[in-house]
Amino acid sequence: MEHDSRPNVLIVDDELGPRESLGMILKPSFNIFTSEDGREALQVIKNKNIDVVTLDLKMPVMPGEEVLKQIKDYDPTIEVVIITGYGTLKSAVEAIKYNVFDYILKPFNVSDILSTVKRCLERREMSFRVKAFLTEIEKESKSPLKMYKHISHFLNKLDEFYHPAKSEGYLEFVKVLTSTLETNDTYTKGHSERVNYYATLIAEGLGLSQVDTRDLQTSAYLHDIGKVGISVNNGSLDENELTEMRKHPLKGVKMVSPLKLPHEVIGGIKYHHERMDGEGYPEGLKGDQIPLFARIIAIADCYDAITVGRPNKAAMSKNEALLELKRNADSQFDKELLDIFAKALRKK
């Protein structure tokens, strides 16, 4: 049989109609597989090298959400596009949890589908290139300082890896970058993804525009990038390590400077450890002096830290964590934002 080098796309839908029409649209550009239910789909994914899955949410046998979770557990680099009828979506924010690439509403439009699947594949390819590059530099980065220098250098030469369309910005890229950096560290694994999720909940509650939300997400993903090259994480820190650790917001800002990100994004990275009472770092800003993104990320960051736990600290439940944050409202956190966050979380 002739080898087909085109990307493999799996269409999962319990109804024949959508399966066939999606197949017709995608067939000229991709190698198509189809499944009628989730169990069969997972089988195909394990046997074929699937690049992209289009997934119907409403299916018997196994609900789409469950299929999605299992696909991402099996291989997080497989891109998933959700195909859904209008109004079946609880909240777009939920998709962030599983890193869904995009949604397509039924009845679908040919050019939407083609362009979405193509963008999907671009992200997948970028993700492989970034990963290969980071693995390479990790091998030769014997010291954390070297790692820091390599990443900084990498960000400087980013245009060799990634050409973001102006309107798209860097969100896709920073997702891949931070998740790759976190892969080898069980302690921070998924941290920026979750901080992004919690920050987005607050953005929704505030009614931020799409552009502002995207900038906030970029900032949330990058907030701890300055920790690259600081080797700690083993429980408590001594004086020197603490001083070193507290440099990470400024180091992060320096690292991402070649990206020329909007100043709101930079503000989120630089000031996410400031406190409302002025006792934070790096500048000891107070109250409204602290940029909005930084106040949002501070809440999301802290909530994640205490619900995930630390080597020397047990994880707290959702309610315990919210109480803990409330105790520190006004001294550490913006009370209004905290209320919005608590409300959004309780709805989940």
Query: Residues in the site for Fe ion, rule: CB under 5 A?
Result: 224
Q: Minimum Å distance from CB 298 to Fe ion?
A: 9
Question: What percent helix, strand, coil does the chain show, rounded to 5?
Answer: 55, 10, 35
Strands 52-56 and 79-85: parallel
DSSP 108-137: P-HHHHHHHHHHHHHHHHHHHHHHHHHHHH
Q: Minimum Å distance from CB 240 to Fe ion?
A: 18
Euclidean distance between the first and the last CA atom of the chain, given in angstroms as a whole number: 50
Q: Of 13 and 334, which CB lies nearer to Fe ion in the complex structure? A: 334
Task: Find, among 258, 255, 257, 251, the residue nearest to 272 by Cα.
Answer: 251
Residue nearest to Fe ion (CB): 224
Q: Of 56 and 224, which CB lies nearer to Fe ion in the complex structure? A: 224
Q: Of 208 and 297, which CB lies nearer to Fe ion in the complex structure? A: 297
**Residue 273, CA atoms < 13 Å, CB-side half-sphere:** 15
Q: Minimum Å distance from CB 221 to Fe ion?
A: 12
| Phi and psi torsions of 11, nearest 5° | -100, 120
Q: Which residues are marked as active site?
A: 227
Q: Of 32 and 302, which CB lies nearer to Fe ion in the complex structure? A: 302
Q: Minimum Å distance from CB 348 to Fe ion?
A: 24
Q: Give every strand in the sheet of 102-106, ordered side by side.
A: 31-35, 8-12, 52-56, 79-85, 102-106
Q: Of 13 and 224, which CB lies nearer to Fe ion in the complex structure? A: 224
* Position 342, amino acid: A
Q: Minimum Å distance from CB 223 to Fe ion?
A: 6
